[in-house]
Structure 1
Amino acid sequence: MEHVELFFKSIFIDNMVFATFLGMCSYLAVSKKVSTAIGLGAAVIFVLGITVPLNWLLDQYILQEGALAWLGPEFASYDLSFLSFIMFIATIATMVQLVEIVVEKFSPALYNSLGIFLPLIAVNCAILGGSLFMQSREIASLGLAFNYGVSSGIGWFLAILAIAAIREKIRYSSVPAPLRGLGITFIITGLMAIGFMSFGGMLTGGDDAVAKEDSAVEVKIEEEKENKTIADNTAQLIQ
């Protein structure tokens, strides 16, 4: 159940583009055609699916305070968390280089259409954000880290695929001159973000969750009243 919840929340509620607006540079630049958007989105899924689990292993067994205890008691006090950014980016750059080699080998047309934005995945803030969010949310297992990486990549893929499909259609629409290009794209992105936010109530319990929270507050208030009554009675008996 935890895996399913994390999967859908990462795609719809905590979407990299619509919730945190990460990776907007390539999202805007490579979303003019659906074909290139699919290629870049698939590359992002692959890179996130590989780098988030790898960086989880680095964080758990090398970077965290006390993570080096497996080397011996004398290393238990070491804290290498200040190296997180460097290590995470090095892992990401390595995987992006691998993706670039594979795409160039098997799909030269896609490689040429993506251009500079394929190697720029290495500095895509959505990729680094996946590893940093994994670290800050204290994901507990390698399986959950892989789940989070893949689902975050799928969320980014859906975002760029949707905006690419819309941008292909609005080329033939009568858009007001001041809004053509990035203007209408930003407006559509904002509207899509509002739409994705509507999934929050569906995936987090909605009214049931609110009702449970209200009932818990009421129970706490009743307990405080009872404790106050007992304290008052005790004070009167002492007097």
Structure 2
Amino acid sequence: MEHVELFFKSIFIDNMVFAVFLGMCSYLAVSKKVSTAVGLGAAVIFVLAITVPLNWLLDQYLLQPGALVWLGDEYADYDLGFLSFIMFIATIATMVQLVEIIVEKFSPSLYNSLGIFLPLIAVNCAILGGSLFMQAREIESLGLAFNYGVSSGIGWFLAILAIAAIREKIRYSSVPPALRGLGITFIITGLMGIGFLSFGGMLTGGDEEGEPSTEPKVTTEKVQVQKEKEEIAKNTKTIN
């Protein structure tokens, strides 16, 4: 259940684009055609699916306070948390280079379409954000880290695919001159963000256990009203 909730929550409610506005540079620049959006979205999913679990392992066994205890008790007090950004970015850059080599080898047309934005995945804040959010959420297992990486990538993929499909149709629409281009794109992005966030009401049913029940309060109020009625009745009898 935890895996399913994390999967859908990362795609819809905590979407990288619509919730925290990460990866907007590539989102806006490569969303003019569906074909290029699909290619970049697939590359983002692959990079997040690899880097988030790898960075989870680095965080658990190298960077957290006391993570080096597996080397011996004398290393238990070491804290390498200040190296998080450097280690995470190094992992991301390595994986992006691997993706660039694979795309250039098997799909030269897609490689040429993506242009400079393919190597720029290395500095895409959505990729680094995935690892930092994983660290902030204190994800407890490698499986959940992989789940979070894949689902976050799928959320970004759906966002850029949706806006690319809409932008292809908008070309044939009568858009006011002042809103053509990025103007109407930002407006549509905001509306899509509202739509994605509306899924929050469907995925918060499991929080009922943590919410205080109103039944004891109602019962207490009934008892208080009953006591007041009895006291009024006693006072009435005394007066009579």
- Scaled by the length of structure 1, the TM-score of the pair is 0.89
- Residue of structure 2 equivalent to 1:95: 95
Superposition CA RMSD, Å: 1.8
Matched, 1:192 2:192: yes
- Residue of structure 2 equivalent to 1:233: none
- Residue of structure 1 equivalent to 2:138: 138
Secondary structure at the residue paired with 1:152?
helix
Matched, 1:215 2:218: no
- Residue of structure 2 equivalent to 1:122: 122
- Residue of structure 2 equivalent to 1:174: 174
Alpha carbons of structure 1 residues 182 and 212: separation in structure 2 relative to 1, 3 Å: same
- Residue of structure 2 equivalent to 1:66: 66
- Residue of structure 1 equivalent to 2:26: 26
Amino acid of the structure 2 residue aligned with 1:160: I
Secondary structure at the residue paired with 1:95?
helix
Deviation at 1:213, TM superposition (A): 2.3
- Residue of structure 1 equivalent to 2:227: none
Amino acid of the structure 2 residue aligned with 1:75: Y
Alpha carbons of structure 1 residues 217 and 80: separation in structure 2 relative to 1, 3 Å: farther
Gaps of 5+ in 1: 223-239
Partners of 1:18 and 1:58 in 2: CA distance = 28
| Runs of 4+ deviating beyond 4 Å | 208-212, 216-219
Partners of 1:104 and 1:184 in 2: CA distance = 33
- Scaled by the length of structure 2, the TM-score of the pair is 0.88
How many matched pairs? Answer: 220
Query: Structure 2 matches for 1:38-57, cutoff 5 A?
Result: 38-57=38-57
- Residue of structure 1 equivalent to 2:79: 79
The structure with the largest alpha-carbon Rg is 2
Gaps of 5+ in 2: 221-240
Partners of 1:77 and 1:203 in 2: CA distance = 40
